[in-house]
């Protein structure tokens, strides 16, 4: 099966990659499924909403600062680096990630689109100003981050129930429509609209390859579903291209 994936990629000129939290699992960043109940018994889907932030901004910011502290200690893993190597082998390449951890960029990926934003950016609720925002690990005081205009800052990520950035989505669909193969890795295929991508690729006659630790709702849809760790399988594929 892995050889079939290699053969498809070898006969392709353009590659579209979609990643999810599973790509960062081997970096020690908990996935959304692992994270449920991991932090003070809260579930990610309860905290990653505008309602949760409106109700208790301090709690939501504490959760994001906790996640930032984990990500800052984490390093990209072989799965991230395999995708950096994959990008070098294809003149036409797009990496669409659902992750907000910035690890693809830290690994060296160039053509990255972030469908759900970035945990190291914050946006002002008053003036809309977007700025880099990383916790100061030494400064334990978690007072609410505010903008220079003194407005309250929120994490610049897409919460459940919020629309995804239309420019990113449109750019991804345009690229998907002209690509030869879509490689989907580390996503449970539950969160929409990213979960629609495998179906859209299939309808467009595009070859689809999944690399995931366990089978997902995507597995029966794709042409090739490889089960295992992305940090092991992706390097095996890329070094043979």
Q: Answer for the pair 92, 106: CB distance below 8 angstroms, yes or no.
A: no
Residue 89's binding partner out of Zn ion, ligand BV8, none, with CB under 5 to 8 Å set by partner kind? none
Q: Examine residue 222 and tell whether it contacts ligand BV8 (CB under 6 A).
A: no
Output the CA–CA distances (angstroms, integers) from residue 229 to 6, 71, 77, 187, in the order listed: 17, 19, 11, 12
User: Segment 157-186, which members bind Zn ion (CB under 5 A)?
Assistant: none
| Least distance to ligand BV8, CB of residue 100, Å | 4
| Rounded Cα gap, residues 152 and 174, in angstroms | 35
Residue 45 contacts ligand BV8 per CB under 6 A: yes
**Using CB under 6 A, which of 102, 208, 212, 225 touches ligand BV8?**
212
Is residue 208 a contact partner of residue 185, using CB atoms and an 8 Å limit?
A: no
Nearest Cα neighbor of 16 from 166, 156, 200 is 200
Of the ranges 50-58, 109-117, 149-157, 161-169, which one interacts with Zn ion (CB under 5 A)? 149-157
Which tokens hold the place of 28? 């020690």
**164: partner contacted, choices ligand BV8, Zn ion, none (Cβ within 5-8 A by kind):** ligand BV8
Among 2, 33, 81, 106, binds ligand BV8 (CB under 6 A): 33
| 116 flagged as catalytic | yes
Partner from Zn ion, ligand BV8, none binding residue 129, C-beta < 5-8 Å depending on class: Zn ion
- Cβ(164)–Cβ(117) under 8 Å? no
Q: For ligand BV8, which residue of 12, 27, 31, 102 counts as binding (CB under 6 A)? A: 31
Strand 117-124 with 153-157, pairing: antiparallel
């Amino acid at each position: 099966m892995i050889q079939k994936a290699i053969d498809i990629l070898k006969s392709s000129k353009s590659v579209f990659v979609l990643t999810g939290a599973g790509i960062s699992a081997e970096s020690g960043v908990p996935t959304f499924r692992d994270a449920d109940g991991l932090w003070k018994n809260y579930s990610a889907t309860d905290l990653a909403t505008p309602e949760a932030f409106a109700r208790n901004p301090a709690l939501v910011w504490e959760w994001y600062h906790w996640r930032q502290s984990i990500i800052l200690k984490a390093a990209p893993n072989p799965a991230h680096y395999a995708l950096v190597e994959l990008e070098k082998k294809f003149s036409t390449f797009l990496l669409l990630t659902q992750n907000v951890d910035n690890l693809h960029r830290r690994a060296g990926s160039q053509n990255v689109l972030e469908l759900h934003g970035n945990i190291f950016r914050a946006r002002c609720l008053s003036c809309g100003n977007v700025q880099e925002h990383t916790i100061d690990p030494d400064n334990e005081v978690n007072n609410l981050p505010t903008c220079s205009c003194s407005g309250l800052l929120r994490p610049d990520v897409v919460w459940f129930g919020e629309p995804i950035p239309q420019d990113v989505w449109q750019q991804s669909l345009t690229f998907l429509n002209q690509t030869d193969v879509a490689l989907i890795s580390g996503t449970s295929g539950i969160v929409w609209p990213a979960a629609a991508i495998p179906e859209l690729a299939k309808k467009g006659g595009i070859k689809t390859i999944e690399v995931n630790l366990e089978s997902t709702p995507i597995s029966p849809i794709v042409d090739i579903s490889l089960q295992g760790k992305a940090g092991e399988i992706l390097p095996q594929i890329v070094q043979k291209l």
